[in-house]
């Protein structure tokens, strides 16, 4: 299928001279505004002032004027909105997220439009390993022309698998040429330090486009953090303690404080509010929200509210989700402030300590009122290429998961992935017995088999290893929604169930499956890129709950078992990971086999 040329709102406006001329006319009083907001207390993120009795003139999608008197822009057809003295803030920005969190962008937006978020910057690496640049473009088309702006960073593909590693230069160049691509996505620090030759050419190309290099420096400090900064990285959303924030601010990073479904770091970090350091490079982000958490808590309004509740001054908290992040991405000429030429993205609050917008405007249109969304997210039909990404050569069988003994002795010393927390792992060594030439595992002792199966590059290539700490006592648990990878991952106590789970995912064209004793206990089809559902959020939430329940019945008590499984392939979280080539020790980037 030919790639449709994407046209986002962002792209079109920027090139439109007539729009600029019209804005100038409106500001000058030669043409009426479409909307004028009067009697606002404008939160000026540039100066930090609250400007009382301020007016804002809007023409089309953009702001023409802000000042003490907007009467010159009011014509017979101008919609006058009296803010009655309430605070008017810029639309909120999520500067780092993963919008493909189980649901389509459309479904995500259904719960994201009412709270004042008007710009999202998302990672979009998921399609790249399994559907290439066509998949990325298909996703970008889904993100375009929505009621709010969804911008993105190009896939950096810092992957533990050599097959998935990096983005092709031509692909990156074409993405960076698009206005809505703001930079290169998060490039996990260890991969960059270990394989600079693999990634620095992409960094240079990105800088040539005058776009940003997004970072991820979890656990890096001192010399290594400096080396990472020297590579040109300018953001990090991984600090979990105030000292880590300050270390990064001092090196010039924009530090994105994460408050979302991966982790909630804001409360611990909020101690820096009394440290005396400047907050101009401090940013609030979600780093991804599950459908359940989004619908329960809301979006950026919830995060800004929490920052205020944690003691940040309201103006500072608002800047962390507006001007600061817009400056980081070099888009403060278009978003992040209420000023002439910017998109008319803004929200009226009940008061400065209450981030519960009574009115939300995006691109000059009212998209929400009193917490009720008035805008409709655009739906998108993903291409067949995007929906057929589980390309295994055939059905798997139990024997595909057997591990042959390699020596005459009965005892084999093997490497095992051990979960230290629900996400952090380490290498453990164990002695296993062989029986009939096959290594034996003991699920009773919480030792499982785990397999990584390539579904895109050389479909069917696989590595079988061992996993400790999941808690699964029987059956199998598999997912295609793995991070930074084209691999399916399946963990199991039983080889036949492992084959069943993978075969079911193949039938579904992607998904999460729990099975036991030959029966599917729960499943969530994820047919788009093998990563997201095409079902409504509510359905997905129910499926997720059913999966958690089924897994609990099999002994798994982790916070979010699907996330645990999905992250076993990523270079983002320490220390010991798996891909179709084997284990990978993130400390040195080396690939390792099962046997010591």
Which residues of this protein are in contact with a copy of itself, per CB under 8 A?
14-15, 17, 20-21, 23-29, 44, 46-49, 51, 62-67, 69, 72, 193, 196-197, 200-201, 203-204, 207-211, 222-224, 226-232, 234, 246, 249-252, 276-278, 280-281, 327, 330, 332-333, 337, 339-342
| CB closer to a copy of itself, 195 vs 295 | 195
| CB closer to a copy of itself, 208 vs 395 | 208
Rounded least distance, CB 301 to a copy of itself, Å:
23
| CB closer to a copy of itself, 184 vs 229 | 229
| CB closer to a copy of itself, 24 vs 356 | 24
Alpha helices in 149-265 (DSSP H): 169-176, 189-194, 196-208, 222-230, 242-250
With contact defined as beta carbons under 8 Å apart, do 446 and 583 qualify?
Answer: no
| CB closer to a copy of itself, 28 vs 552 | 28
Measured distance CA(229)–CA(142) in Å, rounded: 33
| CB closer to a copy of itself, 316 vs 402 | 316
| CB closer to a copy of itself, 263 vs 280 | 280
Which two tokens mark 111? 């719960």
* Backbone region of residue 425 per phi and psi (left: phi > 0; alpha: psi in -120 to 50; beta: other values): beta
Residue 27, number of CB atoms within 10 A of its CB: 22
Task: Dump the DSSP string for 495-528.
Answer: HHHHHHHHHHHHHHTSEEEEEETTEEEEEEE--B
Q: At what angle do helices 169-176 and 127-143 cross, to 10 degrees?
A: 20
Rounded least distance, CB 427 to a copy of itself, Å:
23
Measured distance CA(578)–CA(448) in Å, rounded: 14
| CB closer to a copy of itself, 512 vs 571 | 571
Strand 438-439, strand 447-454: pairing: unpaired
Rounded least distance, CB 246 to a copy of itself, Å:
7
Task: Dump the DSSP string for 262-322.
Answer: S-B-HHHHGGGGGS----TTEEEE-S---HHHHHHH-SHHHHHHHHHHTT--HHHHHHHTT
Rounded least distance, CB 235 to a copy of itself, Å:
12
Rounded least distance, CB 88 to a copy of itself, Å:
13
| CB closer to a copy of itself, 51 vs 430 | 51
| CB closer to a copy of itself, 26 vs 284 | 26
Rounded least distance, CB 152 to a copy of itself, Å:
16
Q: Give backbone dihedrals phi and psi of 485, rounded to 5 degrees, phi first.
A: -160, 155
With contact defined as beta carbons under 8 Å apart, do 349 and 40 qualify?
Answer: no
Rounded least distance, CB 290 to a copy of itself, Å:
33
Rounded least distance, CB 40 to a copy of itself, Å:
13
Strand 35-43, strand 79-82: pairing: parallel
Rounded least distance, CB 184 to a copy of itself, Å:
13
* 30 SS3 class: coil
Rounded least distance, CB 97 to a copy of itself, Å:
23
DSSP label at 102? S
Measured distance CA(561)–CA(552) in Å, rounded: 9
Cis geometry, peptide bond prior to residue 431 (ω within 30 degrees of 0): no
- The long-range contacts involving 520-524, CB below 8 angstroms and separated by at least 24 positions, are 521/475, 521/550, 521/553, 521/554, 522/546, 522/547, 522/549, 522/550, 522/551, 523/547, 524/102, 524/562
């Amino acid at each position: 299928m030919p790639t449709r040329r994407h046209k986002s709102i962002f792209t079109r406006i920027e090139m439109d001279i007539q729009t600029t001329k019209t804005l100038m006319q409106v500001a000058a009083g030669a043409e009426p505004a479409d909307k004028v907001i009067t009697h606002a207390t404008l939160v000026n993120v540039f100066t930090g002032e609250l400007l009382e009795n301020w007016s804002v003139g809007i023409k089309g999608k953009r702001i023409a004027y802000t000042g003490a008197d907007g009467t010159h822009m009011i014509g017979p057809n101008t919609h006058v909105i009296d803010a009655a003295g309430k605070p008017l803030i810029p639309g909120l920005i999520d500067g780092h997220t993963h919008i493909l969190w189980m649901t389509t962008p459309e479904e995500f937006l259904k719960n994201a439009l009412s709270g004042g978020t008007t710009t999202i910057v998302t990672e979009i690496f998921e399609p790249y390993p399994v559907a290439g640049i066509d998949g990325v473009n298909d996703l970008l088309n889904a993100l375009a022309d929505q009621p709010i702006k969804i911008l993105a960073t190009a896939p950096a593909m810092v992957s533990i698998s050599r097959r998935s590693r990096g983005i092709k230069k031509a692909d990156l160049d074409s993405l960076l040429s698009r206005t809505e691509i703001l930079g290169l996505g998060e490039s996990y620090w260890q991969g960059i330090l270990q394989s600079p030759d693999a990634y620095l050419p992409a960094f240079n190309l990105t800088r040539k486009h005058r776009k940003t290099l997004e970072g991820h420096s979890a656990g890096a400090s001192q010399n290594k953090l400096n080396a990472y900064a020297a590579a040109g990285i300018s953001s990090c959303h991984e600090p979990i303690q105030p000292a880590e924030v300050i270390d990064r601010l001092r090196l010039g990073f924009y530090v994105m404080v994460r408050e979302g479904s991966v982790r909630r770091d804001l409360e611990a970090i909020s101690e820096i509010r009394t440290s005396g350091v400047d907050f101009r490079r401090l940013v609030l982000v979600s780093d991804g929200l599950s459908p359940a958490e989004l619908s329960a808590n809301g979006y950026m309004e919830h995060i800004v509210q929490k920052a205020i509740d944690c003691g940040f001054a309201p103006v500072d908290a608002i800047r962390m989700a507006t001007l600061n992040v817009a400056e980081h991405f070099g888009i403060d000429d278009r978003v992040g402030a209420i000023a002439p030429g910017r998109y008319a993205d803004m929200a009226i609050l009940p008061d400065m300590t209450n981030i519960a917008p009574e009115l939300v405007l995006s691109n000059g249109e009212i998209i929400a009122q009193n917490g009720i969304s008035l805008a409709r997210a655009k739906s998108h039909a993903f291409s067949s290429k995007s929906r057929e990404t589980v390309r295994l050569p055939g059905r798997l069988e139990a024997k595909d998961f057997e591990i042959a003994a390699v020596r005459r002795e009965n005892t084999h010393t093997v490497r095992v992935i051990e979960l230290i927390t629900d996400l952090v792992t380490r290498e453990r060594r164990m002695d296993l017995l062989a029986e009939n030439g096959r290594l034996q595992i003991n699920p009773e002792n919480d030792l499982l088999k785990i397999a990584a199966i390539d579904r895109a590059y050389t479909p069917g290539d696989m590595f079988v290893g061992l996993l400790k700490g999941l808690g699964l006592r029987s059956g199998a648990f598999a997912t295609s929604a793995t991070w930074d990878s084209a691999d399916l991952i399946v963990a199991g106590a039983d080889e036949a169930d492992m084959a069943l789970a993978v075969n079911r995912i193949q039938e579904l064209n992607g998904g999460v499956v729990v099975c036991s004793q030959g029966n599917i206990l729960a499943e969530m089809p994820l047919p788009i890129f093998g990563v997201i559902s095409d079902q409504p959020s509510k359905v997905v939430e129910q499926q997720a709950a059913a999966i958690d329940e089924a897994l609990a019945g099999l002994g798994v008590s982790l916070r979010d078992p699907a996330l645990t499984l999905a992250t076993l392939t990523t270079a983002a979280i320490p220390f010991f990971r798996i891909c179709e080539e084997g284990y990978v020790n993130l400390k040195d980037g080396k690939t390792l086999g099962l046997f010591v």
